[in-house]
């Protein structure tokens, strides 16, 4: 099989292999989301408590929390997994995917990947150390 210009082409893959990749990637994604949400909550509480102390002591204080809310794209994995589960239930063992779908489902490079890492890296040390150039 030639891969010279794979853009726009489809490739036949085993559904089980695709499901394994998706489920692994979803678990990693969900782990990051949970860590980010916990840290976000801690940081928000810290900021709110400082505002309360400042207000009670008559000091100038701000009225808003300045944190980016962590984002969660788990539903994208769920949709792909659901479609593949139903395809297998219909008796299929293979499915054709595009190179874009391969990048999303197997390599975990979605259109939203950079935004996900950017919004969550303030809360998850693992993401702060990653090289965002790997996503291009």
Ordered by start, the domain boundaries in the chain are: 10-135
Q: Phi/psi at 27 (nearest 5 deg)?
A: -60, -40
Taking residue 106's Cβ as centre, other Cβ atoms within 10 Å add up to: 17
pTM: 0.82
**pLDDT tens digits, 56-74:** 999 998 888 889 999 999 9
C-alpha pair distances (Å), 62 with each of 40, 46, 67, 68: 18, 13, 13, 16
Residues of the chain with pLDDT under 70: 1-7, 126, 128-136
pLDDT value of position 8: 72
pLDDT value of position 135: 45
């Amino acid at each position: 099989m030639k891969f010279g210009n794979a853009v726009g082409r489809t490739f036949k893959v085993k559904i089980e292999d695709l499901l394994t990749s998706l489920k692994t990637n979803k678990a990693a994604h969900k782990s990051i989301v949970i860590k980010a949400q916990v840290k976000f909550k801690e940081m928000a509480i810290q900021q709110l408590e400082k505002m309360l102390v400042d207000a009670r002591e008559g000091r100038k204080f701000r009225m808003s929390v300045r944190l980016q809310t962590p984002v969660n794209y788990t539903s994208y994995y769920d949709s792909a997994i659901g479609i593949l589960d139903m395809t297998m239930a219909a008796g299929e063992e293979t499915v054709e995917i595009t190179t874009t779908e391969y990048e999303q489902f197997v390599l975990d490079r979605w259109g939203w990947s950079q935004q996900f890492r950017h919004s969550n890296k303030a809360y998850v040390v693992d993401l702060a150390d990653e090289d965002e150039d790997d996503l291009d």
